[in-house]
Structure 1
């Protein structure tokens, strides 16, 4: 075990962990100073410093995630990164709701921002990068279809039904209980199938044996990837490499946590900077969400650059399924326990953009190939979303 720890916690890894946690400690210690009205140059310098630390840590997260993905195979490898980030994000949203003040719409605003960022900006840039380098890439259509089925249902439960059957955009307690319970059951069943019988649906098409139900199209040129038959089972991998995998998961979590904590600590500073610049307040939530999901963004773009389009889907669509599937039950439960209203119903503008995004995602990933042109369409939708933020 000691040898594995030394192999995983290299000086570079330890330096990133120390940098992230050191920056977080500094922010906490300097909170009285930072909460004062800093001069504009000092405010920008602090924000730039935090961003530099987050980016440095993000590359460390990406390195651990890629090694885990290589060792465990998909979807297990990407699932570790996705759940690490999403669970921390859900915990922080819940902590804000349990703290002082009114935060009735924080879950709605956060999840909507994440939806637009992941489904349009991250997916769009990844498809542009992968499409320009590889031409047409073939996703595993069965796996993508499973993600989209859940996203359609969960998005309707989160953003549409509260405005049609609820009161003032929030579910009544008698509605919130079954919605939260059914969401948890659906998400748990999804994980059970993804990690079990339908694992092949979430692998690259050239890693799924011909004739398999999970095969979404003809295989692209071989990139030297092991087939599903050649790859040892995840149980065998965990048994043989338990110490290394445990150490890498620990390193990943220790590097991810300061990213999320710092991004939320910088929220007030960012609000101050945007207020001085005359920018809309909603822009702060979007920028914070982009920072929180920076490790997954980098990993997805690198996967697209290598032609691993199904891994892009696992990272992006899987992250959003986890975000909605975990956040909505958590905030509904907190709302019922504390008596706080949980406003989830979205505006007509955001519902329109969400519907366009889901329809575009379906048309993008159900074809035989995804291309850079699909990516350009997704990026355009994100730009329109940004336009609505500034015009709202």
Structure 2
């Protein structure tokens, strides 16, 4: 039975209202307007999820999930770079903190929730092991080279790379990410397709027309752009709330990263609920790879051009939690089948990560 993917009216209106609301930020309309901005931000996120799914259905797997990962990462890079250029030396660790937060949210929060929901609803879920293994191998290498190795190089004091080292590591990140994309989309595309794709009813659904997909692409970009702009506009209010709560300012980076990743997280969650774990993992791991593999080279370029110093090495506490998350993910996804237990373990690690930020 053919099935068309419509564009509900609210998914068209939401980004328009969000953009109009953004232009009132400079008017300082009070706390009520701040809550209104937060509401339209969530609406824009939900609209982005819908349009991303429309585009993904049109182009097929794994190109759809790759498209969403790249779109969100480009927005994330733009946000980090803009904050670096306006914040000056005080933002030396911004890229590191944001990338670490994004990776931990994806590996333990988003994947943990998907495994929990999928396990609770279907007991066991299956996925293509070669594709996940390829993503994890690439991600492990990039994580160590960008967030851990700077603590142990000796050419420059502190958890920083010299300019030469920074250029080299940026090139390595691009090579690794480019190789992964080539494997995902060309050489071994079948590694990233659901093992039971022929039995999935959505596989046989009629894709949206080119016109609908084009409109959704435009609206998706509008949604992603306003999500980042509103997140940046709300950052001072979020920071004040965090300080008043008595938590460290580093929690602000986690909150902003969570908002930026919300469209992808919701898309992965909805896929897991429909027993499409492969799509969830493609979204999550692809986003983690894009987040760090593209953000670090972009930030390195800004650092070299502007002469700004950037701190990449994470402290020992963060290193332990990151390695624990990576090791747990590898064990959880080692068999090609998942259940509720892996989701519980990953979510516990995520809660520990958040707790140790608030109470270091």
Q: TM-score range by the shorter chain?
A: over 0.9
Q: Would the aligned equivalents of 2:54 and 2:213 in 1 still touch at CA under 8 Å?
A: no
Q: Work out the CA distance in 1 between the residues paired with 2:303 and 2:140.
A: 24
Q: Work out the CA distance in 2 between the residues paired with 1:25 and 1:336.
A: 33
SS at match of 2:40: helix
1:189-237 deviation line (CA, Å, top 9, x unaligned): 22122111211111111128xxxxxxxxxxxxx333549xxx99xxxx9
Paired position in structure 2 for 1:71? 58
Q: Would the aligned equivalents of 2:18 and 2:37 in 1 still touch at CA under 8 Å?
A: no
SS at match of 1:101: helix
Quickly say closer, same or farther: Cα 1:381–1:332, change in 2 above 3 A: same
Total equivalences in the alignment = 353
Q: Work out the CA distance in 2 between the residues paired with 1:122 and 1:57.
A: 19
1:351 deviation in Å? 0.4
1:244 deviation in Å? 3.4
Q: Would the aligned equivalents of 1:9 and 1:251 in 2 still touch at CA under 8 Å?
A: no
Quickly say closer, same or farther: Cα 1:130–1:21, change in 2 above 3 A: same
Q: TM-score, normalised by structure 2?
A: 0.92
Paired position in structure 1 for 2:334? 366
Paired position in structure 2 for 1:163? 151
Q: Would the aligned equivalents of 1:8 and 1:248 in 2 still touch at CA under 8 Å?
A: no
Within 5 Å, give how 1:310-325 maps onto structure 2: 310-325=278-293
Q: Work out the CA distance in 2 between the residues paired with 1:8 and 1:79.
A: 22
1:359 deviation in Å? 0.4
Within 5 Å, give how 1:1-392 maps onto structure 2: 11-27=9-25, 29-30=26-27, 33=28, 42-43=30-31, 45-102=32-89, 103-165=91-153, 166-207=156-197, 222-224=199-201, 226=203, 241-392=209-360
1:9 deviation in Å? 6.6
1:277 deviation in Å? 2.2
Q: Would the aligned equivalents of 2:128 and 2:336 in 1 still touch at CA under 8 Å?
A: no
1:92-132 deviation line (CA, Å, top 9, x unaligned): 21122222422110000000111111111111111111111
Q: Work out the CA distance in 2 between the residues paired with 1:47 and 1:298.
A: 23
Q: Would the aligned equivalents of 1:80 and 1:249 in 2 still touch at CA under 8 Å?
A: no
Structure 1, unaligned stretches of length 5 or more?
A: 1-6, 35-41, 209-221
Q: Work out the CA distance in 2 between the residues paired with 1:373 and 1:10.
A: 37
1:57 deviation in Å? 1.2
Q: Would the aligned equivalents of 2:140 and 2:326 in 1 still touch at CA under 8 Å?
A: yes
1:331-358 deviation line (CA, Å, top 9, x unaligned): 1111111111110000000000000000
Structure 1 stretches of 4+ with a deviation exceeding 6 A read none
Q: Would the aligned equivalents of 2:194 and 2:276 in 1 still touch at CA under 8 Å?
A: yes
Q: Work out the CA distance in 1 between the residues paired with 2:168 and 2:248.
A: 36
Q: Would the aligned equivalents of 1:47 and 1:270 in 2 still touch at CA under 8 Å?
A: no
Quickly say closer, same or farther: Cα 1:8–1:18, change in 2 above 3 A: farther
Q: Work out the CA distance in 2 between the residues paired with 1:266 and 1:282.
A: 15
